[in-house]
Amino acid sequence: MAQPLPVSPLALPLPALGPVRGVRLGAIAAGIRYKGRTDLVLAEFDPGTTVAGVFTRSKCPGAPVDWCRAILPAGRARALVVNAGNANVFTGRAGRETCEQTAQATAALTRCTADEVYLASTGVIGEILPAERITTALPALYDALSETGWEAAARGIMTTDTFPKAARRTAMLGGVKVTIQGMAKGSGMIAPDMATMLSFVATDAVLPAPLLQSMLSAGVKRTFNCITVDSDTSTSDMVLLFATGAAGNAPPASASADAPELADFRQALDSLLEELALMVIRDGEGATKLMTIDVTGAVSDESAWRVAMAIGNSPLVKTAIAGEDANWGRIVMAVGKCGEPADRDTLSVSIGGVCIAQNGTVRDGYDETPVVAHMKGQEISIAVDLGLGEGRARAWSCDLTHGYIDINGSYRS
| pLDDT tens column, 206-261 | 999 999 999 999 999 999 999 998 766 666 789 999 999 999 999 999 999 999 99
Contact status, residue 118 vs residue 51, Cβ threshold 8 Å: yes
Quote the CA–CA distance of 351 and 63 in Å, as a whole number: 43
Please count the other Cβ atoms lying within 10 Å of the Cβ belonging to residue 94: 14
Alpha-carbon distance of 82 to 286, in angstroms, equals 25
Alpha carbon distance 44, 47 (integer Å): 9
Helix (H) or strand (E) holding 239: strand 238-243
Q: Report the number of distinct structural domains present in the chain.
A: 2
Could you say which of 230, 251, 282 is where a domain stops?
282
339 and 297 together in one domain:
yes
CA 273 to chain centroid, in Å, comes to 8
Asked whether residue 276 falls in the same domain as residue 302, the answer is: no
pLDDT, tens digit, 9 for 90 and up, residues 25-69:
999 999 998 888 999 999 999 999 999 999 988 788 889 999 999
- Residue 179 is part of a domain; what is its CATH number? 3.60.70.12
Q: 291-314, pLDDT tens digit by residue?
A: 999 999 999 999 999 999 999 999
Instruction: Tell whether 197 and 329 lie within a shared domain.
Output: no
Spatial distance between the Cα atoms of 131 and 94, rounded to a whole number of angstroms: 9
- 48 belongs to a structural domain: yes
Residue 221 sits in which domain range?
Answer: 23-282
Q: What are the Cα distances from residue 94, in Å, to 89, 97, 105, 311? A: 10, 5, 16, 40
Question: Does 266 share its domain with 355?
Answer: no
Q: Which of these three, 217, 252, 282, is where a domain ends?
A: 282
CA 26 to chain centre: 20
In degrees and rounded to multiples of 5, residue 360 shows phi and psi of 85, 5
Mean pLDDT of 333-337: 95
CATH number of the domain at 347, please. 3.10.20.340
Q: Do 178 and 80 sit in the same domain of this protein?
A: yes
Query: What is the band of 1 on the pLDDT scale with cuts at 50, 70, 90?
Result: very low
Q: Angle CA(71)–CA(86)–CA(92) in degrees, nearest 5?
A: 60
If asked whether residues 182 and 301 sit together in one domain, one would say no
Same domain, residue pair 70 and 32: yes
Most confident segment among 4-8, 137-141, 197-201: 137-141
CA distance 210 to 39: 32
Per-residue model confidence as pLDDT tens digits over 342-398: 999 999 999 999 999 999 899 999 999 999 999 999 999 999 999 999 999 999 999
Query: Of 231, 262, 282, which residue constitutes the final position of a domain?
Result: 282
Report the pLDDT averaged over residues 174-196: 76
CA distance 78 to 114: 9
Residue 194 has a pLDDT of 44
| Residues that are catalytic | 196
Diameter over CA atoms, the chain: 72
Is residue 297 domain-shared with residue 269, that is, in the same domain?
A: no
- Which among 235, 165, 177, 236 is positioned nearest to 206, based on CA atoms? 177
Asked if residue 267 and residue 294 are part of one domain, the reply reads no
Reported pTM: 0.94
In the annotated binding site for substrate, the residues are 159, 185, 196, 285, 408, 413
Answer whether residue 17 is part of any domain. no
Closest listed residue to residue 33, CA positions, set 128, 169, 136, 105: 128
